[in-house]
Amino acid sequence: MSETRYTKDHEYVRAEGDLAAIGITDYAQAQLGDVVFVELPNVGDSFEKGAQFAVVESVKAASEVYAPVAGEVVETNNILDETPAKVNEDAQGVGWFVKLRMSDPAQFSGLMDEAAYRDFLKGL
């Protein structure tokens, strides 16, 4: 069973065991507007928690995406190379960015659950 957690920078992490799918939340894609380009890391790249691992460009702005947990990239979402608009269509589904093998799965539990993230959004 997978579980999803969130950051204050509007990234999500959907974890299943030590694997985590990471992307930006629906709120983030709505703020960016129409996504026109996503720059993803390479399989095998490793990132510490908080390190920039991707860039999203929209008609409004470019935005860095930060690793909510540390780990090694085991898969990237190649669909986004050809159709970056998938982020707008389904940010937390088909619009995921990377899958990481978490090096410290305990970092996941320190992120906001869905209820806490919804409360966080209310305060914005």
Least Cα distance to 108 among 73, 71, 74, 77 occurs for 71
Query: For residue range 80-124, what is the model confidence (pLDDT) as tens digits?
Result: 999 999 999 999 999 999 999 999 999 999 999 999 999 999 999
- CA distance readout (Å), 103 to 45, 47, 48, 49, 108: 12, 9, 9, 10, 10
Tell me the domains of the chain and their CATH numbers.
Answer: 3-118 (2.40.50.100)
How far apart (Å, rounded) are the C-alpha atoms in residues 102 and 119? 26
Q: How confident is the model at residue 62 (pLDDT cuts 50, 70, 90)?
A: very high
